[in-house]
Amino acid sequence: MPKLKTRSGAKKRFQVKKSGQVKHGKAYGKHLFTHAKTPKQKRGNRGTSHLRDMDAKKVIKEMFPYGA
């Protein structure tokens, strides 16, 4: 049997941790910080976060053939 390939888009966007959690970058935080965003939104969009359990299961099952 050939090896299964990981979805290349998922490789760039998600990281599966040993605990089974899926780490991801936050949305809406890449550009347009000069206007239309409150300081609270700007702070909230920093850094990374983890997906909820149900979403993490879907991402691992569909995008990462070998899971964690």
Residue 1, domain member (yes or no): no
Burial class (CB in 10 A: 0-12, 13-18, 19+), 24: middle
- For residue 65, name the pLDDT band (cuts at 50, 70, 90): confident
In a domain, 3, yes or no: no
Q: How many domains does the chain have?
A: 1
- The first and second tokens of residue 24, run together, are 């991801």
In a domain, residue 27? The reply is: yes
**Residue 52 within any structural domain of the chain:** yes
Range of the domain at 23: 8-63
Asked whether residue 68 is domain-assigned, the answer is no
pLDDT, one tens digit per residue, over 11-60 is 999 999 999 899 999 988 888 777 888 889 888 889 999 999 999 999 99
* CB within 8 Å of 25: residues ≥ 6 apart: 13, 48, 49
Q: Around 31, how many Cα atoms within 13 Å sit in the side-chain half-sphere?
A: 0
